[in-house]
Every structure is written in C-alpha cells, then in structure tokens.
Chains A and B, each alone.
Chain A
Amino acid sequence: MAAPIDQAAAETLLRTMSLIRAFEEKVSEMYAKVEIAGLLHLSIGQEAVAAAVGSLLRREDAMYSGHRAHGHALAKGADPGKLMAEIAGRAGGYCGGKGGSMHVAAPEVGFMTATGVVGGTIPLALGSALAFKERQQGNVAVVFFGDGAMNSGSFSESLNIAGLWKLPVVFICENNGYAEFTPISAHTLVERASEHATLFHIPAVTVDGNDLPAVLEAAVPAVSRARAAEGPSLVECLTYRLRGHYEGDPNKYRELSELADWKAKDPILRFTAWAAQAKLLDAATVERIEAEAQDAVTRAVEFTRASAPASPADVATEVYA
C-alpha cells in the first residue's frame, strides 16, 4: 500500500516535524542557559513517529506519552507557548508549572498526560479506550512508549487486556535502542515490541521509524482498526534519539560513529528528500515551513518569558477536585 501522502499532507507532516525540532532545540538552549530547570528528555531524531501518528488523530482522540513527551504533545496540537511555559515552570503553562516536562497534560487537545514512570501510561490509554468503546463514537486512544517500557509488567498486562477486550487502542513503541543508557540487547532477548504484541494476538509491525511514509503506512491501518472497533494494534518504530537520554547526559555509553550514522538518517532530511523526489515539496516550501516553525517557537519563547513564574501561593492548591 502506498502511503497516502498528498501535497497538503506532506506540508502538514513537515510542519509538525519542523515544529518539534525547532521547539526541542530551543528548550535545549534555554536549559543550557538555566532558563529551564529540571529533567528534559528531548525527542530530536524521533520526530517522524510523532508527526505521522499525530496526523491521524482527531482532537477527541486520547494520546498518552512517556517521559519524552514534548513532540507527542505538539503533534496532538498542543500550543507551543503553553507547553514551553509549562516546561519552564511558568504560571501560564498548561499545568501552571505543576507538571513540567515529564508530566505535562493538555487535555483540551486530547493530550491526556505524560508520565515520569516508564510504561506507566500504557494502562491509562486502555482506560480511555474502554470509555471510547462504550461510547461508540469511533475515537481511539494512542500511547507512546520506548523500548525500556517493553520490560515493564504494565506493558505485558496491557497487551493482554487490550487484546482480550478488543480495546480501540494503538500502541506506538519508539524503539530507540536504549533504555536510558543501556542498549536493548543487555535487557532482553526479545528486542522487538512487535514480538510481544504478536504473543497476545495483537496485529503488530516493526518499521523504520525515521522513514515517515513507512510509519504512516503502518499507523493508518492501526488507527483505522481501532476506529472501526476491531481492536488494538501495535506499531514499533525503530528510531534513535540524537540527544542524550536527558539534557546534560554525557553520552558515554555510545560511540560517536553511531551518532553520526543516525544523523545521516535524520527523519526530517529523509522526508524532505523523499517529498522532493515525489514532487510534493519544493525547496521554497520546505524553507517556508521551517521558517514558520522557527517563528512559532520564537512566539512560544516570548509567551514563556512574559508568563510569571508559578506562584509559591499555589504550592498546595489543586490537590483535590
């Protein structure tokens, strides 16, 4: 099946990837300048997965993420200003600064929550899916997680229940080869999330996660299956984070040559080359989209800087509904 990408779709997909890239580069810079505190896990290099999957979702669909969540939130339509302000601990952030990078939620656009617990949101996605199944409105729940989560009990338990109850959930594994600092081979003999899913009778496929059309081609039937109440699917995207596990990670566990190899497989460069070849995007359009992404991030920075730091008076508010 050819990937269903026309010119408008190509522009949208590039817009999302460019926005994520520009956003992540900016927060990295702000972190280095101590304008942002905390733990930042950036998704530079993994943008194709978020962009492809996000492009298939409606606002009412539920998306969950893990600790590397900024790109997912943006792909679901989160406002870059409110997201950045949240990461920067400002009152104007989505969560008033109480969530931060790892626990950001933007339910107004269906980005339900991220989590600091690896694998933690996988069961939550099942819950949204259960509600969707009961309401029969064709909504889907999507959850992103990494290869580290493959070895969590909640992953296996969730595959079991999702398959058993035919829940409209799409599992997206961003297999970037490392659980924190340790290569996947040191953690498991089952190196493919798709193998886990197959065990639980869930349709699953492993694709090149830096090849956006390939991700889309796998995600389209997965999302369609869920919308049609036919049950869960898993799409495993082999990808790579071009930054450390967290900002400040000395990166001692991987070779520079490995990084260089993956830089050559940059998903944005690959997509623009592919789209140029397919005559979907010309150089001027790419340039315009990338400039727009930079502008959006500049506005996000302005919004963030104009937003007051979270007030100490709010330290113990919103604990209970």
Chain B
Amino acid sequence: MSAPLMAETFLQAINGALRLEMQSDPNVYVLGEDVALGGPYGATKDLAQEFGENRVINTPISEGTVVGLAVGAALQGLRPVVEIMFVDFITLAMDQLVNHAAKLRYMSGGQLRVPLTIRTACGVSGAWGAHHSQSLEAWLAHVPGLKVVMPSTAAEAAGLLRAAIRDDNPVVFVEHRALYYQPDPPDLPPPSSCELGQARVRRPGRDVTVIATGRMVRLALEAAAELAAQGVEAEIVDPRTVQPLDLLTLAESVRKTSHAVIVHEAVVPGGIGAEIAAQLQAAAFDYLEAPIERVGAPFAPVPASPTLEAAYLPDKAAIVAAVLRTMGHGQKA
C-alpha cells in the first residue's frame, strides 16, 4: 500500500505552477535574485536544472532595471515571471511597473501588450521588521493597467499563478510569506475556477459578510467558527484578486447579509478595504443595516520587536469584535 501523498504546501504549489507553465510555453522565463538557486524559499526549486539557466535567470540586485528589462522582453513576446523577493523592494521597481508595465498598453493605443507576472512576498511574519513585511497591494491596485492577485490557499496560488502567467497584462502576484509552508486543509474543496477577477465564497453565512484577503482569510474563518458558537453566521468571501475586484460576488453577499466587515493586513487608511467599502456602499447601500467595518493594521510602519509585531497584526479577536460591532449597530446598550 502506498503512503498517502503529502499535501502540497503553498510554495510547492507555486513551484509546480511555474514548472507547468514553463513546460507548456517556451516563452515563459523566470528572473530574479537567486532564482536559479531555487530562490530564498524554494519557489523556483529545480527549475534551472529542468529548463536551463537561460530561462531561469539570476539577476543582480537591481529591481527597477530587472522589471524594466522584463517589460521589454514581454513587448518582444516573452512571458517573463519576475520574482521580487519582498514587496517592500517593489518600491525600487515602481517606476518601471507604474510608468511602463502598466501604461504601455494604453499609451500605445493598444498596439503593445505586456504579458508580465511579478511574484512577490508580502506580509508580517517572524519579526522581520519594516522592510521585509509590508502589504502594499493598495498602491498597486490604484494603477490602471495592473492586475493584483492575493492568493490565500495553495491550490488557488497554483491556479491563479497559471492564470496570471497566461494573462496578457502585467500582473502582480502577492504571496503572503506566512502561508508559504502551509498545505491547504484536507477538507478544502479545490477551487472550481481560478480566473483573475473572481472572488470565492469560502464559507456561506447569513448574518454578516467578512471580506478578507491573503493570510487574513484563514483568520476570518477562525473568527467565523467562534462567531458561530455565539449564533452569528459569517459568510467569508476572498476577493482573490484586488484588481480587478469582483464586485458582483461581494455585493451579492452583502445584499444577503446586510452587514460587511473588510479585513486586510495592510494599514487601514487608504487600504484596499477603503475601495471595497466605497464600491459596496454604492452597490448595496439600501441593503446595509450598519456602517461597513474595516479591520487592518494601525497606521504605522511594521515594527521589529515580536511584542510590537503581535500588537500590530490584526487578529481573530479584532475580527470578532468588528463583526459584533456591525451586528450590534443601532441596538441600545
């Protein structure tokens, strides 16, 4: 009898998706720091051996130029996948990303296309401090021409990454570092579709919609279990891509529950939650029974100390409290 297969971790799923896309399309190239060595976490493990170092290319620490180079390669018909080790370092590539990758399609009047994928790690984990822990997806989602993906499960990471690589637009694929070594729960059904721009309802519920991204999806599910014990049934919806946003699915849920809480790890002011809230109030104002709540990090850089980091991260209690606030809105104390 053969041993049961080990469930695939998030990283293994990424690695597998890259391998499949490189096998099926010779135009897929991987570039980044240390990628030929497998990358800092192993996302590109063994790819250089299988596809050669001409397709899995180690780059100097020159994020801006590497992203610009990938844009040029994409204009020429390659499908580069660039690894930016931490989203914090995408700041160095913002010029190329914002001014060329995102805009060339439009500025050229549709003559050019930029089939570029940028994989990057985000999020707080392990007390790595202010330059290796940020969540900057709202910046990216604000740029017309970019797509922004935030997978929350291994199976979706694989499916969404393959969709991103096949997409003819620049896609920033934001992977939460804390998810890397986690397999999906055994009872989680595989996603029925991994199209970009499609949310997924992870848990049905009648009382409140909790919209959560990235690692916060797991936390929201844990909060939902606790809420259920109190008789509150939360519907957990993962947008999966924050640009484009699947407003239809989000609004449909809110019309059903009449209450919404948005949870992300990024700081609250100007976060993607602000945009989601604005779109929801426009799409479902008459259905809402309470103001939309937002849960996220305080408006501060990510601290280094473990005690500060713990205070910084949104937790289950914060989600539960936000849900109870919105559910109790208008009731007399």
Task: Give chain A's interface residues, CB within 8 Å of chain B.
Answer: 62, 64, 93-99, 103, 105-108, 112-113, 115-117, 120-132, 134, 141, 153-154, 157-158, 160-161, 164, 317-321
Contact = CB atoms under 8 A, between A and B. Distances in A.
B108 A157 contact: no
A319 B105 contact: yes
B165 to A, nearest CB: 14
B279 interface: no
A93 B109 contact: yes
27 contacts: A64-B72, A105-B104, A105-B111, A107-B108, A108-B111, A112-B72, A113-B75, A116-B99, A120-B99, A122-B68, A124-B100, A125-B72, A127-B74, A128-B73, A131-B72, A131-B76, A154-B68, A158-B68, A161-B59, A161-B62, A161-B65, A161-B66, A319-B105, A319-B144, A320-B145, A321-B113, A321-B168
B15 interface: no
B138 interface: no
B108 A113 contact: yes
A158 B54 CA distance: 18
Contacts of B64: 123, 153-154, 157
B69 interface: yes
A124 B62 contact: no
Contacts of A157: 60, 62, 64-65
Contacts of A98: 106-109
Interface string B42-61: 00000000000010000110
Given A62-B76, A127-B78, A320-B145, 19 more contacts: A94-B108, A95-B107, A99-B107, A113-B112, A115-B99, A120-B96, A121-B100, A124-B71, A125-B72, A126-B68, A128-B75, A130-B69, A134-B54, A134-B78, A157-B64, A157-B65, A161-B66, A319-B145, A321-B105
Given A117-B95, A124-B100, A161-B59, A96 B109 contact: yes
A113 B109 CA distance: 12
Nearest to A127: B72
A126 B72 contact: yes
B72 A120 contact: no
Contacts, number: 154
Interface of B: 29, 54, 59-60, 62, 64-78, 80, 95-96, 99-100, 103-115, 144-145, 147, 168-169
A316 to B, nearest CB: 8
Contacts of B104: 105, 113
Contacts of B111: 94-95, 105-108
Given A115-B100, A127-B76, A319-B144, A120 B109 contact: no
A117 B67 CA distance: 15
A120 B73 contact: no
A120 B105 contact: no
Contacts of A99: 107-109
